[in-house]
Chain A
Amino acid sequence: MQRLLNFFYEYRAFFTFLLLEVLCVWLLVQNNQYQGTKFFNSSNRMAAGILGFSQSTREYFSLREINEELGRENAQLKTIIERQSQTGVAALTGRDTIIRYDYVSAKVINNSVAQFKNYLTINRGKDAGIEPEMAAISIFGVVGKVKSVSEHFSVLISVLNIDEQVSSVLKRTGNFGTTQWDGTDPRIVNLLYVPRHVEPIIGDTVVTSGYNGIFPQGILIGIVKEVKLKDEALFYDLRVELSQDFRKLSFVKIVKSRLKPELDSLETITIGAPK
């Protein structure tokens, strides 16, 4: 016994090292799980406060860009209103979509595009009704989904995260695929699993499919920029240029799907609980 204790004491540095590293690996694994780490992320009050302060300082230097973006968003909203008023109230087919989704606008206080696993922090949380698994979009396209929320802040998984997959569809041909980032260029994502027989062309629009009930159907993801088909490959290599430039992201909208609980419970009954 004495010798055993001596042994541990002799190598105490190594054992402490081992212990700490195991703890770190445990934290890593926890964090990678979908709703892991409720508290120790940038949505906790102090971290978010510091990040918000540093963001508001930086904002002064990019006011021009933010203005431009808001201006463009305004213009786009005006076209939508214009289009709707021209078609008349009777032809307003979006009745069910209006009921299905609520939107919460939020400001981005922390954003990164250069890591492999990028996250965003926004300044709205539980108090605005945000919950994990809600979708985040901007006026230009998809942004990500909510990972965890605190009282006043939330952390979003960006589309620029090598673990994040978005169910998407090629608008022109109607074929489904999965959008996933490869970790290199923050402007480009890949559209996977588009089979050989489809003929995608450069300039095709890629939108969300709405299949998993997180993203509404038909939210713009980007434009196909590069089409490659290797001789023996089953699927195309499609490079898609994101419609939202993540480096200039300052406002997002959180989509609250009112019918998601209903959809989920129905699917649970028919096809079993999700993994």
Chain B
Amino acid sequence: MNRSGIYIFIYFVVYLLVQVMLFKQLVLFNTTFCFFYVAFILLLPIETNMLVLMGIAFLLGFFVDIFYDSLGLHAFSLVFIAYLRNYWLGTITPQGGYDAGEGPTLAVNGLQWFLVYSVPLIFVHHFILFFTEAGGFSIFWFTMMKVITSLMFTMFVILFLQYFSFDRRR
């Protein structure tokens, strides 16, 4: 537990720095964001305690917020999907269940499962994030476009990195 705790801490810092130093600058057409840090919460081991999960989500969101000057915004969305995550994992358990000690990754469970797992959660995250920031539904379609395009961009980056680590694992 202690060792995996250190790993989680290192990954936490790496995800945070990559998000705020690289992906914060990478905004396409002024509408398309990459909130790649969401993957950190999605990829934590399946048996992670929900309280721990939400605690980590809050901290990660909080630190991201400091850099985006949007205190509470990212933390709110991330805690929300951290709460949903384990219920969603329970709902879409593949036949034969999950392997003990494995993360809910593409390498373990396959592309189709991974998409079913991650796309709705990331959609919920982006949806809450953008509509909270916009302060309601007054510019609905523009905000919706931001949600959808950012979802695609974030998914693309996460899948890319998943394939990248997939090769290393084999």
Contact = CB atoms under 8 A, between A and B. Distances in A.
Nearest to A31: B71
B112 interface: no
A14 B87 CA distance: 12
B21 A20 contact: no
Interface in A101-140: 110, 112-117, 119, 121
A7 interface: no
B30 A114 contact: yes
B117 interface: no
Interface in A153-187: 155, 162, 182-186
Given A21-B79, A40-B66, A114-B27, A28 B21 contact: no
A20 B79 contact: yes
A59 B163 CA distance: 32
A92 interface: no
Contacts of B135: 116, 162
B144 interface: no
A37 B31 CA distance: 27
B33 interface: yes
Contacts of A116: 130, 133-135
B160 interface: no
A28 B17 contact: no
Contact of A27 (B20, B51, B71, B142): B71
A50 B83 contact: no
A115 B17 CA distance: 19
Contacts of A44: 66
A115 B68 contact: yes
A53 B132 CA distance: 30
Nearest to B146: A114
B133 A24 contact: no
Contacts of A31: 69-72
B51 A13 contact: yes
A20 B73 CA distance: 12
A97 interface: no
Interface residues of B, number: 37
A27 B65 CA distance: 10
A119 B134 CA distance: 15
Interface in B71-129: 71-73, 75-76, 79-80, 83
Contacts, number: 107
Given A12-B51, A54-B25, A42 B134 contact: no
A27 B70 CA distance: 9
Which range contains the number of A residues in contact with the other chain?
Answer: 35 or more
A16 B71 CA distance: 19
A80 interface: no
Contacts of A250: none
Contact of B139 (A16, A20, A28, A184): A184
Interface string A222-247: 00000000000000000000000000
Contacts of B133: 115-117
Contact of A16 (B51, B62, B69, B72): B51
B58 interface: yes
Interface string B39-74: 000000000001100110010011001111111110
Interface of B: 17, 20-21, 24-25, 27, 30-31, 33, 50-51, 54-55, 58, 61-62, 65-73, 75-76, 79-80, 83, 130, 132-135, 139, 142
A-B interface, 10 closest residue pairs, ranked by CB to CB distance from nearest: A27-B72, A28-B72, A24-B76, A119-B69, A31-B71, A54-B21, A114-B27, A13-B50, A24-B72, A17-B83
Interface of A: 12-14, 16-17, 20-21, 23-31, 36-37, 40-42, 44, 47, 50-51, 53-54, 58, 110, 112-117, 119, 121, 155, 162, 182-186
25 contacts: A20-B55, A20-B79, A24-B72, A24-B73, A24-B76, A27-B71, A27-B75, A31-B69, A31-B71, A37-B71, A40-B65, A40-B71, A42-B68, A44-B66, A112-B24, A112-B68, A114-B27, A114-B30, A119-B69, A155-B69, A162-B135, A183-B134, A183-B139, A183-B142, A184-B139
